[in-house]
């Protein structure tokens, strides 16, 4: 199993990343420790504290190591409504560049597709920013197979960030589409807290790991385009998550875990 992936064919990252959503403005030690442990993919968004999360990452990590990719998302406006109008997306991208202290966002993701704005207008605005050198690669979040196909007809899509985990595989078809096209798939909520399954517990005992670690190991084995981004505000939990990257499951163990939820089924 390859532990690395090239997003958009060129952004080389370790497949087990870090989601910064849970961090407070005083949790810089957590993200600093993530980088020390070898994490090279860090995911944030304007929605996370309305820019405060991006500012935390800049305060903590700037100047960025060349191997570290910080990706952010736009398309949600206060007080939490979707807003995909081109002028709003442009303003949010420029503000993110300032907060993250970057000249270019190597990977920028559309947080959600605004149903009130034509998808072509939303993706087209990001394409224009890419052509201007403000964005390197474009990603999407919470999209269907049809929306992904429509967007790819307008611009190259480097990543998709949909909800997906061992017990919640509603977006199995989107994952399949990403795998076929070599698009990075960043599952958010990669581990369902508080949900137990007998197969997960049994395999975890066999490999000497926690259920959460076992679930992350299954994700990494599930597809070569899978880049989980578990998040936490606790260093001990972070270290536990990152250790999952070294776990290896047998074919039989993967099959048993895979039967925990049928493809396309959600156990939320």
Q: Which residues are catalytic?
A: 48
**What are the angstrom distances between the C-alpha of 14 and each of 38, 67, 126, 184?**
8, 10, 26, 12
Give 244's contacts (C-beta < 8 A, 6+ positions apart): 16, 209, 212, 213, 214, 216, 217, 220
Specify whether the CB–CB gap between 70 and 42 falls below 8 A: yes
Contact 11, 108 (CB under 8 A): no
Q: What share of the chain is helix, strand, coil (3-state, %, to 5)?
A: 40, 20, 45
- In Å, the largest CA–CA distance within the chain is 53
Rounded Cα–Cα distance for residues 18 and 30 (Å): 10
Other residues' Cβ atoms within 10 Å of the Cβ of residue 14:
19
Structure tokens given for 10: 């060129």
Q: Residue 136: in which H helix or E strand, if any?
A: strand 135-141
Q: Cα separation of 14 and 255, whole Å?
A: 25
Query: Residue 35, class by beta-carbon neighbours within 10 Å (0-12 exposed, 13-18 middle, 19+ buried)?
Result: middle
- What CA–CA distance (Å, rounded) separates 193 from 190? 9
């Amino acid at each position: 199993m390859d532990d690395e992936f090239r997003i958009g064919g060129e952004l080389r990252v370790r497949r087990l990343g870090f989601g910064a959503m849970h961090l407070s403005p005083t949790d810089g030690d957590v993200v600093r420790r993530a980088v020390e442990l070898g994490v090279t993919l860090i995911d944030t968004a304007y929605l996370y504290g309305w820019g405060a999360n991006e500012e935390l990452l800049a305060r903590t990590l700037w100047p960025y190591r060349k191997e570290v990719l910080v990706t952010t998302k736009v398309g949600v406006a206060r007080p939490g409504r979707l807003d995909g109008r081109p002028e709003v997306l442009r303003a949010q991208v420029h503000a993110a560049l300032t907060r993250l202290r970057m000249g270019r966002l190597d990977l920028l993701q559309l947080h959600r597709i605004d149903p009130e704005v034509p998808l072509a207008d939303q993706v087209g605005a990001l394409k224009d920013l890419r052509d201007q050198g403000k964005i390197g690669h474009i990603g999407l979040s919470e999209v269907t197979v049809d929306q992904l196909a429509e967007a790819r007809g307008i611009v190259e899509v480097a990543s998709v960030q949909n909800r997906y985990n061992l017990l919640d595989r509603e977006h199995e078809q989107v994952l399949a589409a990403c795998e076929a096209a070599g698009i990075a798939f960043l599952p958010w909520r990669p581990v369902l807290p508080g949900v137990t399954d007998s197969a997960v517990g049994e395999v975890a005992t066999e490999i000497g790991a926690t259920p959460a670690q076992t679930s992350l190991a299954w994700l990494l084995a599930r597809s070569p385009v899978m880049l989980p981004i578990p998040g936490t505000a606790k260093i001990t939990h972070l270290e536990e998550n990152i250790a999952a990257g070294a776990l290896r499951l047998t074919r039989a163990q993967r099959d048993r875990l895979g039967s925990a939820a049928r493809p396309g089924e959600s156990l939320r």
